[in-house]
A and B are shown apart, each in its own frame.
Chain A
Amino acid sequence: MVREAVKHIVIVGGGSAGWLTAGVIAAAHCSASEAGLRVTLLESPDVAPIGVGEGTWPTMRDTLDKIGVSESDFIRACDVSFKQGSRFNGWVNGQPDDHYFHPFVLPQGYGETDLVSAWLQGHANLPFADLVSFQPHLCVQGKAPKQKSTPEFAAVANYGYHLDAGKFGLFLRTHCTEKLGVRHVVDHMAGVNTHENGDIVSLQTRSRGMLEGDLFVDCTGMQSLLLGQHYQVPFISQRHALFNDTALALQVPYADEHTPIASQTISTAQHSGWVWDIGLPTRRGVGYVYSSAHTSDDVAQEVLHSYIGQTGGPSGAAVPRKLSFQPGYRREFWHKNCVAIGLSAGFIEPLEASALALVELSASMLSDEMPATRDAMDIVARRFNNAFTYRWERVIDFLKLHYVLSQRTDSDYWRDNRQPESISERLRELLVLWQHQCPSRYDLSRVDEVFPSASYQYVLYGMGFRPQPRATLRRTDSSTAAHAYFQEAAALTRKMLPALPTNRELIAHIQRNGMMKI
């Protein structure tokens, strides 16, 4: 006899986190079939989704492929462009030529030999990313990461997406309800009914009575209705490490329909934070995310307007949308028979687009480890909490890495960011190690790391950090293999630049003709 089999998952919240989670679970657990796991998504008609994070990691390609959407449909429906990484302007010292790339493609020969020593010995005048990877050169030229003939989800150069998060939620909703058998209930959650052991038995809805379920997924955004408000799981603030807690966001039109679409997220450091600039096919999404303790909203708005004016946007004073948030995450993410995914679990500033990546990782672990019975649930919950506490800590360390290495002295914001008490002990230790060795799999030992060690290298060396030679010689110090990889990267650059269309050309082509599946 199966004891209290888990047969019905209820997801609360109809933003991109809710629908992504619904899609991942429904596709893997045959929700469209009678014999599969039932998935119901409860969405309030009153609460508008916040539409956070218009950038994704390359993992989104796998996620979308797995849930069975067509990439062509997705690109057409969600105002999607291709993202090949990030470009950081002004983060090192704020001088006019201060910029570096963090591309998605790993360095050529990564893990095969010591690229870093060879870079420092032979090519120290070149930016690390530009030497070891072809991708920054594609970004500079506004190139797309694939050809018109490249099949759906396949890449010439590794890529993720920039997208309209509002449209993304709607697109996933259609796919989930029409193809994957997810039941969509539009109603307001009015209360929570619990069992005497504390488990949620059902949700009280305003007009449809009780909605029963075996496992409840809290995708209610920052309100965190189930995990935070109902269960009172404490919130661990990270304001001491990452100061940004406010964002002003604006949509900026292109000058005309021929303006290039940037193939990477552009992040420009400012007095008390940084400006994101994301190129969608129809508009740019631009926003200033900053520390409210270091500047005022009025000054922030001036900074945002001045950035938009300097980058070809209209000089008119549109009023930005303001978002306030507490940087941090919950002490646990899975409590009793309730698991939080998305902003209900935690939120950190949008640097490096970790929000949707964490949603994907959470949905995929929940789906892979879906407890078959209530008995199994506490065990799975413990593993889930362990995995995601680790992941949140790594996200915070990786984001903090961008700040601690800055040499900017133009404000307290940048100086405070280098205060030792704002840096985790683990990151301080890593920085000591990295003075003589490069970030590697030893530093990031889990299988599903949010950011690969190569990303740490791109940021570390992009920010101007230079490892010192050891006192003693190693065989890998005089590697000729590394130089062959540098040449390989250069050869690939020469080969790809003329063969790839621009980001705008490819998107226009896909909107007209779509992409083939083979």
Chain B
Amino acid sequence: MSNPVVLNNIDHKNLRVITKRGESFGDNVMTVFSFAQEFRNLQAHYPIVFYKSEDGTSFQAAALLGLNEGENLFLGPDGWDADYVPLALQHKPFLIGKANGEMVMHVDMDSPRISRSEGEPVFLEYGGTTDFLDRMSSTLRAIHEGLEHAPAFSAALLEHNLLESFVFDMEHADGSHSRLSGFYTINEERLSNLDGTALERLHRAGYLQSIYMAIASLSNLSALGQRKNRSYAGRS
């Protein structure tokens, strides 16, 4: 459940936010949504894939963190095991909502990250914003802008027929097999067959670089498989 309220320096004067990473904070997710502007930061660590929106009308980018529902292979005993935490997880417990027709910052008071004794303070003693809150605010802005551009990016990929579904078959250390399916990636052959006009349009819209980063990010798939196997080793 969530209980978002408008953030203000009176009601939330003493609010602190726990920034540790862990299952108890809801970080055990297999995928997080993303957008083209974040690909540069993601591609060094995570496979970037696409999934279809529930109503089947568009595609959404995502960073793959695990290989099964509810599995995040970047969650270690000492927190997050990579240099970059995707924005879709970073921003919590803050979110953008509308109040009186304006976009304003909200905070989810039911989030397990909410505290009075532990974590990062949100406001300074006399009501000013902390650096932490400023960072959270710019994170939310980046997500908001990224998601605003996402439909156009999805439409461009579809227009050029660049997405294809893929499956990733794995044999695990314990001998079992599993198959990752339901996601889509860039079809490199169709990309390389695009004519100059199409490529120029993708480039001018700023999509071409993101497309290549998404392709390059797939080298992280085998690394993800290895993380999975290490998790078996750790269990036995």
Contacts and interface: CB of A to CB of B under 8 A. Distances in A.
Interface of A: 147-150, 509, 513, 515-516, 518
For chain B, which range describes its interface: under 10, 10 to 19, 20 to 34, or 35 or more residues? Answer: 10 to 19
B55 A516 contact: no
Given A518-B163, A518-B164, A518-B165, A149 B54 contact: yes
Interface string B23-66: 00000000000000000000000000000111111000000000
Contacts of A509: 55-56
Interface in B61-92: none
B205 to A, nearest CB: 21
- Majority SS of interface residues in chain B? mixed
B184 interface: yes
B164 A147 contact: no
A35 to B, nearest CB: 25
B163 A513 contact: no
A513 B55 CA distance: 9
B29 to A, nearest CB: 19
B184 A513 contact: no
A513 B54 CA distance: 12
B55 A149 contact: yes
Contacts of A515: 56
Contact of A148 (B56, B163, B164, B184): B56
A513 B56 CA distance: 8
Interface in B123-172: 158, 163-165
A442 B56 CA distance: 42
A149 B53 CA distance: 7
A154 to B, nearest CB: 10
B184 A518 contact: yes
B179 to A, nearest CB: 17
Contacts, number: 26
Interface of B: 52-57, 158, 163-165, 184
- Majority SS of interface residues in chain A? loop
B163 A150 contact: no
Interface centre among B53, B57, B165 (most CB of A within 10 A): B57
Given A148-B55, A518-B165, 19 more contacts: A147-B54, A147-B56, A148-B54, A148-B57, A149-B56, A150-B56, A509-B55, A509-B56, A513-B55, A513-B56, A513-B57, A515-B56, A516-B52, A516-B56, A516-B57, A516-B158, A518-B163, A518-B164, A518-B184
Contacts of A516: 52, 56-57, 158
A147 B56 CA distance: 8
Contacts of B55: 148-149, 509, 513
Which A-B residue pairs are the 5 nearest by beta carbons? A149-B56, A148-B56, A149-B52, A148-B55, A513-B57
B96 to A, nearest CB: 26
Nearest to A516: B56
Contacts of A518: 163-165, 184
Contacts of A513: 55-57
Contacts of A147: 54, 56
A418 B62 CA distance: 62
Contacts of B53: 149
A175 B83 CA distance: 55
6 contacts: A148-B54, A149-B54, A516-B57, A516-B158, A518-B164, A518-B165
Nearest to B163: A518
A516 B55 CA distance: 10
B68 to A, nearest CB: 16
Nearest to A514: B57
Contacts of A148: 54-57
A149 B54 CA distance: 6
Nearest to B57: A513
